[in-house]
Structure 1
């Protein structure tokens, strides 16, 4: 299993990405497991808060699985992007409060997963970024739409165009996370405990109201198309091969 799930109590559950050897990177199999679990969680009427975190101390989710993506063509990339977006949209619109406990690297698809959460808590060692341009591609799981809603258009473009990685202090200052904690999972449980003491139906109606405003202009399908187009370029092949070979890519604008 690529994920673990346990209930802290009747009202709070923890979903943990469990691929520490690969820095909890997201492959298709992991996305399918998350997808199936979210369907089960949605039907649990006693559950009001779900916390998402990563196994180990190094990484929340370090991105999508580069080795799996490297040889995709544009059709396969479109399918992968569309499926990832479907799973993350399910999380974003889940009838529970979703808290991201970010315990380490939160990059690429990992930041996109975090952006689908309602609340994000980061460790003081966490790192955040959308470094896809270093691989010759763009974010494909919703960041071109969700990130600007959180940090503003200018900062979102800066992060996506440069691929820069930022620390927790900057992430806090621009609103990616709402709090820094030495133990983000414990802090997430504390916040979840406060939330479950409130009126559950009111919480979910508040979430629906805020998500309606945030989602009405999400053009995810266009992001999927642009992401897939990158996989017909030589720069994408070079970028991902360079990543796997641990060298600097030599892009040729082809």
Structure 2
């Protein structure tokens, strides 16, 4: 009885996650590849901003790209960047048309170099704690987005930069990319989730080794350790990981959007509990997809031997 009651509470608490997701997406490799390979995301953001946000259209409708753009600071995490990213995350969280988010860099050769140490050096000691708390909250919110998130690591992802990538569901790296939680070199520890997410990703003993040694590894080794899903050879334009991330987002797009959100919620919640509770969580999430129009559309499409046209309803 207690288990069933818990299941009902969970189901009620997350019923809002299954809100309607408008829009139909199909897997079309049209002119978007050419446009996206140039990575011109200025249509949704003002020139010179530290974060550009691009809502793709056409066959890629539903894919949103966050592009970090602080070339002089190697995309280091500043107060302003935290503010802009927090606003962007909040915006897509409330947008039921968004089916996946790609986090990438607009700066060649770097994903994110971690905290902006020059800005940090100018902070009073009393300011450091609150800033780290805001950065941690941002990365937590990024991890809690209901739709799939993909980090495209085309360059160095160090400290807080790797912590941002760890908060994403999937990581793709160029083989030449460099990654590491290097905070112990500065006599501090990862403070935005690194000590928690890295062990959950690569295992406790290996995470300890990497953090204690402040070790930096490349994309090939990261793939071998399970830190990234895919490692790809870098191309001349320096965006190989981004292009692979885009391909992956295109694989997600045609699937039932409510189902994907519920699958993510079930996995994320279930992995933190025992199997019995996890199965109850799965049952609660499954209950959210049963009454959807998309489920009936999927059955009809299968019967009629045609591609489904999901509307997120």
Shorter-normalised TM range = 0.7 to 0.9
Q: Which residue of 2 aligns with 1:106?
A: 157
Q: Which residue of 2 aligns with 1:192?
A: 249
- 1:8, 1:188 → 2: CA distance? 14
Q: Which residue of 2 aligns with 1:247?
A: none
> What TM-score comes out, normalization by structure 1 length?
0.82
Shift of 1:76: 2.2
- 1:119, 1:127 → 2: CA distance? 17
- 1:146, 1:72 → 2: CA distance? 27
User: Do the aligned partners of residues 113 and 215 (structure 1) sit closer, same or farther apart at CA in structure 2, a change above 3 Å counting?
Assistant: farther
Uncovered stretches (5+) of structure 1, i.e. residues with no partner: 217-254
Q: Which residue of 1 aligns with 2:217?
A: 166
- 1:171, 1:8 → 2: CA distance? 29
> What TM-score comes out, normalization by structure 2 length?
0.67
Q: Which residue of 2 aligns with 1:76?
A: 127
Instruction: Determine if the alignment matches structure 1 residue 152 to structure 2 residue 203.
Output: yes
Instruction: Determine if the alignment matches structure 1 residue 5 to structure 2 residue 74.
Output: no
Shift of 1:73: 5.1
Uncovered stretches (5+) of structure 2, i.e. residues with no partner: 1-48, 235-239, 274-313
- 2:266, 2:71 → 1: CA distance? 36
User: Do the aligned partners of residues 212 and 73 (structure 1) sit closer, same or farther apart at CA in structure 2, a change above 3 Å counting?
Assistant: farther
Instruction: Tell me the matched-pair count.
Output: 217
- 2:271, 2:151 → 1: CA distance? 18
- Asked if structure 2 preserves the Cα contact closer than 8 Å seen for 1:149 and 1:214, the reply is no
- 1:110, 1:122 → 2: CA distance? 13
- Asked if structure 1 preserves the Cα contact closer than 8 Å seen for 2:199 and 2:207, the reply is yes
- Asked if structure 1 preserves the Cα contact closer than 8 Å seen for 2:68 and 2:107, the reply is no
Shift of 1:56: 2.1
Q: Which residue of 1 aligns with 2:296?
A: none
* Match among 124, 130, 135 for residue 175 of structure 2: 124
User: Do the aligned partners of residues 118 and 165 (structure 1) sit closer, same or farther apart at CA in structure 2, a change above 3 Å counting?
Assistant: same
* Match among 262, 265, 268 for residue 205 of structure 1: 262
- 1:165, 1:213 → 2: CA distance? 31
- Asked if structure 1 preserves the Cα contact closer than 8 Å seen for 2:65 and 2:103, the reply is yes
Q: Which residue of 2 aligns with 1:21?
A: 72
Q: Which residue of 1 aligns with 2:148?
A: 97
- 1:146, 1:185 → 2: CA distance? 22
- Asked if structure 2 preserves the Cα contact closer than 8 Å seen for 1:148 and 1:156, the reply is yes
What's the secondary structure of 1:24's corresponding residue?
coil
Shift of 1:205: 0.8
Question: Which structure: larger Rg?
Answer: 2
Runs (4 or more) in structure 1 with deviation over 3 Å come to 71-75, 213-216
Shift of 1:156: 0.8
User: Do the aligned partners of residues 90 and 214 (structure 1) sit closer, same or farther apart at CA in structure 2, a change above 3 Å counting?
Assistant: farther
Q: Which residue of 2 aligns with 1:53?
A: 104
Q: Which residue of 1 aligns with 2:16?
A: none
- Asked if structure 2 preserves the Cα contact closer than 8 Å seen for 1:172 and 1:178, the reply is yes
Q: Which residue of 1 aligns with 2:227?
A: 176
What's the secondary structure of 1:141's corresponding residue?
coil
Q: Which residue of 1 aligns with 2:7?
A: none
Shift of 1:71: 4.7
